[in-house]
Amino acid sequence: MKTPSHRERAIVVFMTYRSKIGVVVAFSTLAVLLAAVLSIWSVKATDRHIHQANLAQDLLNEHLQLSVHTYRLFKQLTDEVLLGSTANQSVVRNKRQAIAESLGKIKALEIEQRDAIGEEFAPGAVEDTVELEQLIDLIIRDFTSALQLPPSSERSQRVDAILEERIDVGFREQVNAALARQRSVVALMNNRIQSVHSQALGVAVGLVLITTVLGLAMAWVLVRGIARPLDTLNHAANLWIDGKFDYRIPSTPDAEFNQISTNFNTMAERLARFTAQQARTERELQEAVDSRTRELMEANQALERSDNVRRQFFADVSHELRTPLTVIRGEAQVALRGDSRTKADYQDALAIVLEQSIGLSRLVDDMLFIARTDAERIRLMRENVALNTLLESVVKESSVLTADNHVAIHTNLDPAIPDLLLDPARIRQLLVILIDNARRFSPSQGCIHLQTKREDQGVVITVEDQGPGIDPQELPYIFDRFFRGTSANSRDNSESAGLGLGLAVAKAIALAHGGDIRADSHPDSGTTMTITLPIRP
């Protein structure tokens, strides 16, 4: 079996489906045309041979008619010569006329037959007919001569000679030869018709076989060429339905299918991007929903906490205001009712009133400071301040209070710190708040560490105590106004009481100076407050 060359394989492979379908259609059209040509040729050939066969049959029939008419004429003439009966001349003329017509027809048919089938298939037919016509005329003339003789033996001999030599030998041989020749022509024509039928049948069967084989082969090639790409596309579609968009249809030598597969792969890539984008959008939306939910929960918790703080604030404010006012009112009432009191008693009462008034004033001042912070209307009286000197002064003043708790203050001040543009009163207030908080929550015999350090763009102040620390859950809220942690609420001494404004005021002061404050604490590990102040505001 011959193996197709690379060029032939390339032609088959790179034919497009349109070309393949066109080849199939062209082949089908060619087969139909061949069948039509075969049918037309078969019909025409059969018609021609049937015409020739009919012509040959007609010529044979005319020869038979001529033989019949001639023999009848010869018999009548023989009877007239031998028996002496008078023949009907009109009958004789009619028979001679019929013989003449038969001869004329035979001549015409033989000429037509020779033109139709060729002289080689009927040689000498026309000439033999002319000789037969001459022989018939000769026999008739012989009979006529014999009739002119008187009845005698000579007349009888003349008739016998005509019958034996002219009719039985010459005429019969020529008639039989003509009939045999014409019968062979009729047989030839019938054989030709049968041959045409056989050829047409053979060609038709061959054409059907060839058309069937080639048609099946081309159909197989076409179906196979279409089925495989369709199976590949179906496989890819099933994978993409399952969400496996990373699958790509492999390339093949079929350029037309490659174009389709490229479009499908592009579609899968876009679907993958769209699906990924949709999943990302859904994820982001879910994250946004979760974030909003958390924010709402935190806001709700903040609102609850704010409401609790508000309630606690009003309770604490009521307590903080009522206590000094009660003391002031009591001392004033006692002083007014006591006629026997000495000057020293009045001075003590006024001192108590003054002390409580100062506490009220400080409380009101802190609340106003917080309010101004919200309104961004804080006024700072800035001046160049030696921070280390200010810290030493605050530590000295606070040492009186820490000594009562047996708490020591240790300092580590960086001498490289320059003068800063600060509001000394507010910075003093911030430091006092931090040191006081550290003192109140430090254990007896504890220590407070205060340190300053210069950094690139600012100064860092740290206040570290050895107290119980702050609950990690409360650490984010210690700088909120009015917030009081559990450690503050759990202490029963009056020193720890308050409205929870101290650290809020401290943070407001640090922010007003362009700095910040943060707290680092762990339970049972103490708390470190870190203040950052810029060198240049």
Structure tokens at 417: 């710190």
Give per-residue pLDDT as tens, 322-377.
667 776 777 677 677 666 667 777 777 777 777 777 777 767 776 667 666 665 66
89-117 helix and 17-83 helix, angle to the nearest 10 degrees = 150
**Which residues are CB-contacts of 174 (< 8 A; sequence separation ≥ 6)?**
128, 131, 132, 135
Better pLDDT: 402 or 387: 387
Give per-residue pLDDT as tens, 231-243.
888 888 888 888 7
Residue 120: pLDDT band (50, 70, 90) is low
Q: Domain limits of the chain? A: 12-233, 254-377, 383-537
Separation between Cα atoms, residue 414 and residue 452, nearest integer Å: 5
pLDDT above 90 covers a percentage of the chain that reads 5
The identity of residue 214, as a single letter, is L
Task: Decide if domain 383-537 falls under CATH 3.30.565.10.
Answer: yes
Sequence-ordered alpha helix ranges (H) in 242-254 = none
Give the residue from 116, 163, 166, 173 showing the smallest Cα distance to 137. Answer: 166
Give per-residue pLDDT as tens, 180-207.
777 877 787 788 778 877 877 887 888 7
Q: How far is the CA of 433 from the CAs of 341, 394, 502, in angstroms?
A: 39, 11, 6
Element at 121 (helix H, strand E) = none
In the prediction, which pLDDT does 461 show?
93
In the prediction, which pLDDT does 99 show?
80
**Which residues are CB-contacts of 529 (< 8 A; sequence separation ≥ 6)?**
434, 437, 438, 462, 463, 464, 517, 518, 519
Q: How far is the CA of 448 from the CAs of 161, 528, 530, in angstroms?
A: 182, 10, 13
pLDDT > 70? residue 494: no
The identity of residue 286, as a single letter, is Q
**Which residues are CB-contacts of 387 (< 8 A; sequence separation ≥ 6)?**
417, 419, 420, 422, 427, 452, 459, 461, 533
Whole-prediction pTM value? 0.41
Q: Do domains 254-377 and 383-537 have the same CATH topology?
A: no
In the prediction, which pLDDT does 459 show?
93
In the prediction, which pLDDT does 3 show?
44
pLDDT above 70 covers a percentage of the chain that reads 81
Query: Which CATH code, of 3.40.50.150, 3.40.190.10, 1.10.287.130, 3.40.50.10490, is assigned to 254-377?
Result: 1.10.287.130
Give per-residue pLDDT as tens, 271-315.
888 888 888 888 889 888 888 888 888 888 878 877 776 666 666
Query: Would you say 383 and 427 are in contact if contact means Cβ atoms under 8 Å apart?
Result: no
How many Cα atoms are found within 13 Å in the side-chain-facing hemisphere of 46?
13
